Chain A
């Protein structure tokens, strides 16, 4: 059974304080690992897809990396508007189903 574990559950940072969020996964053949951002009361917003170990993707202050067992979402010099819950999901080969982690609730304090 595919599993996704995200840590920490919650993270509070001062504005400008860089950090990383972790997503550990087990999957029967990884087709893709997805990062989403979810604001309260809203649906998830797509950020990145990673397909193979060693791959990296960047968007503004966010950079996602992937190994064979985990993915990191690095946030550099965050701003208050980066506050949200960040979700990680995996999709195996031969299946359209996404398995989500429970997310990391990130709060950036001005």
Chain B
């Protein structure tokens, strides 16, 4: 069964709206979660690494003021897309790793964000 739950699965909203996406690890504690963005027929691109109780580490070219990440507990990380615009429309996916460093990341089912 799923070990990572992501909500909502789909969001359609007007330009200028802020959107929050939740990522929960089920039945395990995740000190580190990851946020990805995926465009059609393209690879998953890491946006940021979310660490419980500390600031997220953003990849080069990702605006930290645009994509706010909060990892307030060992089972929940949130991504807020602030003042979203049509170019922010994409498929956002979170993942979490539990266990040792050699363990794989497990992914949520993604959030399809459409900005009108």
Select B46's contact among A43, A44, A87, A97, beta carbons within 8 Å.
A97
Q: Closest residue to B9 on the A side, CB-wise?
A: A41
Residues of A within 8 A of B46 (CB): 97-98
B7 within 8 A of A: no
- Are B104 and A41 within 8 A (Cβ)? no
Of the candidate stretches B36-44, B71-79, B81-89, the one touching chain A is B36-44
Q: Chain B binding site: helix, strand, loop or mixed by DSSP?
A: strand
B105 within 8 A of A: yes
Separation of A49 and B97 alpha carbons in the complex (Å): 13
Residues of A within 8 A of B41 (CB): 102
Separation of A42 and B2 alpha carbons in the complex (Å): 12
- Are B44 and A87 within 8 A (Cβ)? yes
Select B6's contact among A32, A43, A102, beta carbons within 8 Å.
A43
Separation of A97 and B58 alpha carbons in the complex (Å): 11
Inter-chain pairs besides A31-B101, A98-B46, 11 sampled, C-beta below 8 Å: A4-B43, A34-B104, A43-B6, A43-B107, A44-B44, A44-B93, A46-B107, A51-B102, A87-B43, A89-B44, A101-B43
Can you list 14 A-B pairs, Cβ within 8 angstroms, ordered by A? A4-B43, A34-B105, A36-B107, A43-B4, A43-B107, A44-B44, A44-B107, A46-B107, A49-B102, A87-B43, A96-B32, A98-B105, A102-B42, A103-B43
Question: Which 4 A-B residue pairs are closest in the complex by CB-CB distance?
Answer: A43-B107, A100-B43, A100-B44, A102-B43
